[in-house]
Copies of this chain bind each other. A is one copy, B any other.
C-alpha cells in the first residue's frame, strides 16, 4: 500500500513530473520521505489524488482545488455528488456540440444554409462555465449552491436577445451608480432608479424575487471583497452606496 512516484503515476495516469509539481505547490504531499529522499505515498494520498483528478476534470484550477480541499467544512462524499452533477452538465454540453456538428454536416450536404449564430451552439455553454469558475467559487463558499445553480439554469434557457439585454442592464446599473453616487444621497431619485434598475437586472438571473433576498444580496456586496472591488471600481465607496440605495428602496 505504499507507492513511489513512478508506481503511483502509472496507476493514476499522471506523469511523475505532475506528482512532483503537486508536491512542490503543496497540493499533494507524500505521506513521508524515505531515508534516501524518495517520495512515498500511502492510502490517503491515493484518495486525495483521485479527488484532485476529479476536480481537474472539471477544469478547476489547482489553486482552487487546494482551497476547496483544505476547507475545514470539506466533505468528500458531498463533493463527489456535486462532481457527478457537474459531469452530467459537461456531458450535456458535449451533446449540444455534437448536435451542432450533425446540423452542420446536414447543412453542408443538404445545401441548406445555417444561421451564423446557430453554428456556435454548445460553445456558449462554455461562457457560463467560465463565469462560474470566476465567481462561483466564492459565492458557493459563502452563500451556498442554491442561488448560483438556479441562476445558471435560467441563463441557459435565455435567448441571445435576452442575454444581450441583461448585459446591457448590467451596464446601465453601473452608469446609474456613478450618477446616483454623485448626488451623495441614497434616497435621491437617481438612487431609487439605481435600485430599480438593479432589481430589473436581478430578475434576469433570479428564479424568484423577495425583498429579503434583495436586501441580503446588497449586504453581501459589502461583505464580499470581490463584489466590493467590483463596484468600488466605478467610484470608491460605490458598494456601500448601492447597498444603502437598495435598502432605502426596499424601505429597510
Set B77, B91, B109: member contacting A91, Cβ < 8 A? B91
A195 to B21, CA, bound (A): 39
Which B residues are in CB contact (< 8 Å) with A120?
A: 11-13, 50, 53
The reply to whether A50 and B87 form a contact with Cβ atoms under 8 Å apart is no
Minimal Cβ-Cβ distance residue in B for A3: B116
Q: Which of A30-38, A123-131, A174-182 contacts B (4 or more CB under 8 A)?
A: A123-131
- Given the known A-B contacts A13-B127, A98-B87, are A50 and B119 also in contact in the complex, defined by CB atoms under 8 Å? yes
Near B by CB (< 8 A), chain A positions 200-230 give: none
The reply to whether B108 and A13 form a contact with Cβ atoms under 8 Å apart is no
The reply to whether A104 and B13 form a contact with Cβ atoms under 8 Å apart is no
Q: Which of A78-86, A148-156, A183-191 contacts B (4 or more CB under 8 A)?
A: A78-86
Q: How many residues of A contact B (CB 8 A)?
A: 41
Near B by CB (< 8 A), chain A positions 155-199 give: 164
Interface string of A93-114 (1 = CB under 8 A from B): 0110110011011001100000
* Residue A47 interfacial (CB < 8 Å): yes
The reply to whether A116 and B11 form a contact with Cβ atoms under 8 Å apart is yes
Minimal Cβ-Cβ distance residue in B for A125: B13
**Closest Cβ of chain B: how far from A79's Cβ, in Å?**
10
Which B residues are in CB contact (< 8 Å) with A87?
A: 94, 97-98, 101
The reply to whether B97 and A94 form a contact with Cβ atoms under 8 Å apart is no
Which B residues are in CB contact (< 8 Å) with A91?
A: 91, 94-95, 98
**Closest Cβ of chain B: how far from A48's Cβ, in Å?**
11
Which chain A residues have a beta carbon within 8 Å of chain B's beta carbons?
1, 10-14, 46-47, 50, 53-54, 57, 76-77, 80-81, 83-84, 87-88, 90-91, 94-95, 97-98, 101-102, 104-105, 108-109, 116-117, 119-120, 123-124, 126-127, 164
13 pairs, A vs B, C-beta closer than 8 Å: A12-B119, A14-B123, A50-B119, A54-B97, A57-B97, A57-B123, A77-B105, A77-B108, A80-B104, A84-B102, A87-B98, A91-B94, A94-B94
